[in-house]
């Protein structure tokens, strides 16, 4: 074929476009093509999205003794890991995460982040990472010194003899590392405050990687995109200077050794109080009477059961307050905040414990009862990071900002601390699900004191999420939600890991399934997978089964792809030209996404009538015609009258009768 001169070719195309009816990109066979959920169903994971009859996961119990030395900003510790192999096969090796190795100049995280468009510049202040001083492993009663293979943020331990199914290995490690200084630490680190340094300590001991039925060892390196960890019981002790306060995950086991009697009494009072009680107030921070000793060190001992991790904050600069958390079934927990004097005040951290308490109570009521004895909010360097039983929030946060970050970070105790998904691979099961539950927590907090959840994570322009998601859907460079977390460019992190999945669940709840069906299915998913390791397919199957719908078209269009939706109201006319016989409405689908939708008809007398059109209407057709059973003259017809759907062109949704 001969090619036309370019100008002519363009002219031909332009006239063809002008003459043709609006082109539809919708293809029902693509939109409704079968979705093969992988992996295949087996004895470990069931077709209904629940753990199968032979579901297993391995277990890691930890005993940690660590010393925090503020003079050198270092942690020196020993950890004993009791690792139980519940898998059906023998293990030749064990893998550990050493996430502190991110902070070395040559780490994969250091070298890969700088090259990602939209990434912030690499902060400096490298450390040597986590140094393993000695490693011993005990299998079958025989203890052997081993030299692990360290590869970036992972370490492989080759076992002297394989670890048989249903047996246990003990790993004993001596280690040390230098705590990174803000801002390089990101999720962990230290910073200066008026009355001394504040430490937010996490990823602070060698942690077992997950060995599961899907991949065996999940050894993705830490490039700074969160975690996937085994559950177990933790017994940990932190030795600090005598004038330090330690606020950690779990229950403080030796309050009488580390707190003077007055603070013990105040803590006891806080356990009975819905109002925040000061344990150490602003005026007491530098007062010697608030510590039992002023020389030497003290060891703070904590215990936490059935958790995937523990973290802690430490400082001599802390103001400390607490209040009771009331849980369903008469259970109680304790909300506590620690922060420096410069963060105090009712417009700032003075309300942190109230925010923490109310959020924990709300999520417990709505989805799953908070399982831990304490919830801590620490003001520090991380500016918004979650661990089981403790969150690190921004030291300068105030008012609404502090509320929303507190609700979000403690919300992570449901995803992924209780429902232990793989955050490093599937950010939407972490950030997206948490953002979704936060939306309704905002509505409920103090009768809507801070209004609707609108922030950098969800509808950042402050408007209708259904409108604000559209630029993300139309951007051809946007990755799909299912994309691996490390492959998502920074500028798309909030839109794709938080906003789109959260709004997707809102669509499911409010437009597709209805609140009751959605809540039943979602709660069922949370309960079935609490303290376990669900994968995306387990979630999709769970929701299909809980709701009793095949939602493949939605998972495929919204989570696996970025399909756009454009419904056009093509026309409306009376049946047989008689207003008494109903209104015949024609709607065309112009894009690849399908959705159920509402059509609203306004009568000449102002009355309104609505009809819900199911998604099945799109199974075979690009254009659908249906009758709204009206009996009088009509003044207006509109599809999606509440602007609830992410319809990329609302200009073609309405029709006014003359
Ligand atoms: Zn988050």
pLDDT digits (tens, 9 = 90+) for 65-107: 999 999 999 999 999 999 999 999 999 999 999 999 999 989 9
CB 654 within 8 Å of CB 637:
yes
CA of 595 to the centre of ligand 1 (A): 29
What span, in angstroms and rounded, lies between the C-alpha atoms of 101 and 224? 11
Sequence-ordered list of residues with C-beta below 8 angstroms from that of 90, at least 6 positions apart, any chain: 162, 163, 164, 165
CA of 307 to the centre of ligand 1 (A): 18
Q: What integer best gives the mean pLDDT of the chain?
A: 93
Structure tokens at 603: 């009568």
3-state secondary structure 292-340: CCCCCEEEEEEEEEEECCCCEEEECCCEEEEEEEECHHHCEEEEEEEEC
3-state secondary structure 534-591: CCHHHHHHHHHHHHCCCCHHHHHHHHHCCCCECEEEEEEEEHHHCHHHCEEEEEEECC
The 10s digit of each residue's pLDDT in 268-308 is 999 999 999 999 999 999 998 899 987 899 999 999 999 99
The 10s digit of each residue's pLDDT in 367-411 is 999 999 999 999 998 889 999 999 999 999 999 999 999 999 999
CA of 384 to the centre of ligand 1 (A): 8
- Adjacent-strand bridge partners of 168: 84
Average pLDDT over residues 414-421: 98
Which pLDDT score is estimated for 23?
Answer: 79
Which pLDDT score is estimated for 38?
Answer: 65
Q: Which of 103, 26, 180 is nearest to 619 (CA)?
A: 26
Confidence class for position 580, pLDDT limits 50, 70, 90: very high
Q: List the shell of residues around ion ligand 1, using CB closer than 5 Å.
A: 431
Exposed/middle/buried for 532, CB within 10 Å: 0-12, 13-18, 19+? middle
Q: What percent of the chain has pLDDT over 90?
A: 86
* Low-confidence winner among 18-22, 246-250, 434-438, 634-638 (lowest mean pLDDT): 18-22
3-state secondary structure of 93: strand
CA of 630 to the centre of ligand 1 (A): 48
CA of 409 to the centre of ligand 1 (A): 6
3-state secondary structure of 61: strand
Residue found by looking up tokens 């894009």 in the block: 591
Average pLDDT over residues 334-355: 98
Confidence class for position 7, pLDDT limits 50, 70, 90: very low
Assigned CATH topology for domain 59-211+224-424: Immunoglobulin-like (2.60.40)
Measured in whole angstroms, how far is the alpha carbon of residue 428 from the centre of its chain?
Answer: 7
Terminal-residue alpha carbon distance, the chain: 51
pLDDT greater than 90 at residue 496? yes
CA of 494 to the centre of ligand 1 (A): 10
* Residue 319, number of CB atoms within 10 A of its CB: 25
pLDDT greater than 80 at residue 647? yes
What span, in angstroms and rounded, lies between the C-alpha atoms of 548 and 423? 27
CA of 604 to the centre of ligand 1 (A): 49
**Residue ranges of the alpha helices (H) in 323-397?**
352-366
What span, in angstroms and rounded, lies between the C-alpha atoms of 27 and 326? 52
CA of 412 to the centre of ligand 1 (A): 6
Assigned CATH topology for domain 567-656: Immunoglobulin-like (2.60.40)
CB 497 within 8 Å of CB 408:
no
Average pLDDT over residues 582-594: 97
Which pLDDT score is estimated for 5?
Answer: 35
Helix 515-529 / helix 536-547 crossing angle, nearest 10 deg: 140
Residues of the chain with CATH 2.60.40.1730: 59-211+224-424
Which pLDDT score is estimated for 9?
Answer: 35
CB 353 within 8 Å of CB 402:
no
Which pLDDT score is estimated for 119?
Answer: 54
Average pLDDT over residues 520-534: 98
pLDDT greater than 60 at residue 29? yes
CB 135 within 8 Å of CB 96:
no
CA of 57 to the centre of ligand 1 (A): 25
CA of 385 to the centre of ligand 1 (A): 7
Confidence class for position 632, pLDDT limits 50, 70, 90: very high
Average pLDDT over residues 7-14: 36
* Residue 469, number of CB atoms within 10 A of its CB: 21
Confidence class for position 486, pLDDT limits 50, 70, 90: confident
Confidence class for position 17, pLDDT limits 50, 70, 90: very low
CA of 405 to the centre of ligand 1 (A): 9
CA of 88 to the centre of ligand 1 (A): 34
Q: Which of 564, 561, 540 is nearest to 480 (CA)?
A: 561
Beta strand segments in 205-267, E = 207-208, 211-212, 216-217, 232-241, 245-248, 251-252
CA of 410 to the centre of ligand 1 (A): 9
Sequence-ordered list of residues with C-beta below 8 angstroms from that of 148, at least 6 positions apart, any chain: 96, 132, 135, 155, 156, 157
Looking at per-residue pLDDT, the higher value among 28 and 396 belongs to: 396
């Amino acid at each position: 074929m001969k090619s036309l001169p370019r100008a002519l070719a363009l002219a031909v195309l332009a006239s063809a476009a002008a003459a043709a009816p609006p082109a539809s990109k919708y293809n029902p066979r693509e939109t409704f093509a079968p979705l093969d959920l992988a992996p295949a169903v087996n004895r470990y994971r069931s077709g209904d999205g629940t753990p199968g009859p032979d579901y297993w996961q391995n277990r890691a119990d930890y005993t940690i003794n660590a010393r925090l030395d503020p003079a050198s900003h270092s942690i020196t510790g020993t950890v004993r890991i009791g690792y139980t192999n519940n898998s059906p096969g023998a293990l030749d090796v064990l893998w550990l995460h050493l996430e502190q190795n991110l902070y070395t100049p040559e780490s994969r995280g250091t070298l890969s982040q700088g090259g990602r468009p939209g990434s912030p510049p690499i902060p400096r202040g490298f450390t040597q990472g986590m140094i393993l001083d000695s490693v011993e492993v005990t299998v079958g009663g025989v203890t052997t010194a081993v030299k692990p293979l360290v590869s970036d943020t992972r370490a492989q331990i080759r076992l002297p003899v394989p670890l048989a199914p249903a047996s246990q290995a003990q790993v004993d490690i001596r280690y040390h590392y230098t705590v990174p200084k803000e801002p390089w630490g990101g999720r962990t680190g230290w910073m200066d405050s008026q009355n001394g340094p504040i430490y937010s300590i996490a990823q602070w001991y060698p942690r077992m990687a997950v060995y599961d039925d899907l991949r065996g060892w999940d050894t993705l390196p830490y490039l700074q995109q969160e975690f996937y960890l085994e559950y177990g019981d933790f017994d940990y002790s932190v030795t600090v200077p005598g004038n330090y306060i330690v606020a950690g995950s779990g229950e403080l086991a030796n309050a009488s050794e580390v707190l003077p009697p007055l603070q013990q009494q105040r803590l006891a009072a806080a356990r009975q109080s819905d109002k925040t009680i000061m344990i150490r107030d602003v005026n007491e921070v530098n007062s010697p009477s608030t510590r039992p000793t002023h020389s030497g060190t003290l060891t703070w001992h904590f215990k936490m059961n059935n958790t995937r991790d523990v973290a802690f904050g430490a400082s001599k600069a802390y103001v400390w307050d607490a209040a009771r958390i009331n849980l369903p079934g008469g259970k109680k927990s304790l909300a506590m905040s620690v922060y420096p004097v410069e963060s105090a005040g009712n417009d700032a951290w003075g309300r942190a414990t109230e925010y923490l308490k109310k959020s924990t109570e709300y999520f417990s009521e709505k989805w799953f009862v908070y399982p831990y004895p304490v919830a801590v909010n620490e003001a520090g360097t991380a500016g918004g990071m979650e661990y089981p039983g403790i969150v690190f929030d921004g030291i300068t946060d105030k008012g609404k900002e502090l509320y929303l970050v507190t609700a979000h970070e403690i919300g992570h105790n449901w995803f992924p601390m209780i429902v232990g998904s793989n955050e490093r691979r599937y950010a939407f099961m972490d950030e997206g699900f948490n953002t979704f539950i936060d939306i309704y927590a905002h509505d409920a907090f103090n009768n809507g004191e801070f209004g609707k959840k609108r922030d950098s994570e969800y509808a950042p322009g402050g408007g209708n999420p259904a409108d604000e998601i559209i630029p993300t859907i139309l951007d051809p460079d946007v990755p799909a939600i299912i994309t691996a977390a490390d492959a998502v460019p920074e500028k798309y992190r909030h839109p794709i890991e938080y906003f789109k999945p959260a709004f997707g669940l809102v669509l499911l709840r409010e437009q597709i399934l209805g609140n009751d069906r959605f809540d039943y299915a979602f709660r069922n998913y949370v309960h079935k997978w609490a303290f376990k390791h669900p994968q995306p397919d387990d979630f999709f199957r769970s929701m299909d089964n809980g709701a009793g719908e095949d939602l493949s078209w939605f998972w495929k269009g919204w989570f696996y792809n970025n399909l756009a939706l454009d419904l056009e109201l093509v026309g409306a006319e009376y049946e047989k030209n008689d207003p008494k016989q109903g209104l015949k409405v024609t709607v065309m689908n112009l894009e690849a996404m399908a959705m159920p939708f509402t059509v609203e008809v306004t009568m000449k007398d102002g009355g309104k009538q609505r009809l819900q059109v199911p998604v099945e209407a799109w199974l075979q057709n690009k254009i659908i015609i249906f009758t709204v059973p009206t009996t009088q003259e009509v003044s207006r017809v509109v599809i999606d009258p509440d602007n609830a759907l992410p319809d990329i062109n609302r200009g073609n949704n309405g029709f006014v009768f003359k």
